[in-house]
């Protein structure tokens, strides 16, 4: 798996994780919190107001009624209070159900996050493996090139040593030949001085070979 394949998958996983966080946490939690607060408060307020008004009327009726009706008024007050309590309990139960739904939502989110994390972990491991393999291959290549360069340098050095040796031998031959020619010239010059000009042509031919 090379870099060109891993980068798009990593980017896609990040985008999916971002959408998952936004869809499953940010928007649902905000909307659910607002709805819960609005629904529960409005409903509870309405129930309390309605029951409170009825309770007030029942209390007023109870106090203005005769002694025979006082027991009925008290029963009505108790019934109204009980209904308010039941309404509050139902609102709490409804809130609990919504909270349980949010818990399921969070569990789903945890599963999605775990899946995304696992995918990112696999991608990172694949990237690390790819980098390690590439590094090993580059190391082998560099070692091979270094060995080839060392061998080439040794070969060139050997050739230069051979050329140097050949030049030294040619120089020695040239110096020896030059020394021999100088010696022959001196010998010829001495003979010319001893024998005179008459034999110079013969000696010159002998000198020139």
CB atoms within 10 A of CB 73: 17
CB atoms within 10 A of CB 203: 15
Residues 61 and 10 sit within 8 Å (Cβ to Cβ): no
Please give the pLDDT value at position 205. Answer: 56
Please give the pLDDT value at position 65. Answer: 46
> Rounded to the nearest 5°, which phi and psi values hold at 160?
-65, -40
> To which H or E segment does residue 76 belong?
helix 67-195
Alpha-carbon torsion angle 97, 102, 105, 107, nearest 10: -90
The model's pLDDT over 35-65, given as tens digits with 9 standing for 90+, comes to 665 665 566 566 655 555 555 555 555 444 4
pLDDT tens string for the chain (209 positions)? 555 666 676 677 667 766 766 666 666 666 666 666 566 556 656 665 555 555 555 555 544 444 455 556 556 656 655 666 666 666 666 666 666 666 676 677 777 777 777 777 788 888 888 888 888 888 888 888 888 888 888 888 888 888 888 888 888 888 888 888 888 877 777 766 666 544 555 555 555 55
Task: Tokens for 81, please give them.
Answer: 């209070």
End-to-end Cα spacing for the chain: 82
Domain definitions of the chain by residue range = 3-134
The model's pLDDT over 148-166, given as tens digits with 9 standing for 90+, comes to 888 888 888 888 888 888 8
């Amino acid at each position: 798996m090379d870099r060109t394949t891993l980068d798009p998958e990593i980017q896609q996983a990040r985008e999916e994780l971002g959408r998952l966080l936004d869809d499953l946490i940010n928007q649902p939690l905000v909307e659910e919190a607002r709805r819960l607060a609005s629904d529960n408060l409005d409903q509870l307020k309405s129930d309390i107001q309605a029951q409170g008004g009825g309770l007030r009327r029942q209390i007023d009726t109870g106090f203005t009624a005769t002694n025979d009706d006082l027991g009925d008024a008290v029963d009505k007050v108790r019934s109204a209070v009980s209904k308010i309590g039941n309404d509050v309990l139902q609102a709490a139960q409804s809130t609990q159900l919504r909270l349980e739904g949010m818990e399921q939502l969070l569990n789903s989110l945890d599963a999605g996050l775990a899946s995304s994390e696992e995918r990112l972990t696999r991608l990172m491991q694949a990237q690390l493996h790819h980098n390690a393999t590439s590094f090993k291959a580059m190391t082998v290549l560099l070692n091979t090139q270094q060995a080839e360069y060392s061998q080439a340098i040794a070969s060139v050095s050997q050739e230069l040593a051979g050329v140097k040796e050949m030049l030294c031998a040619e120089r020695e031959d040239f110096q020896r030949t030059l020394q021999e020619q100088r010696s022959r010239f001196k010998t010829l010059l001495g003979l010319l001085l001893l024998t005179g000009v008459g034999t110079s042509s013969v000696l010159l031919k002998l000198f020139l070979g």
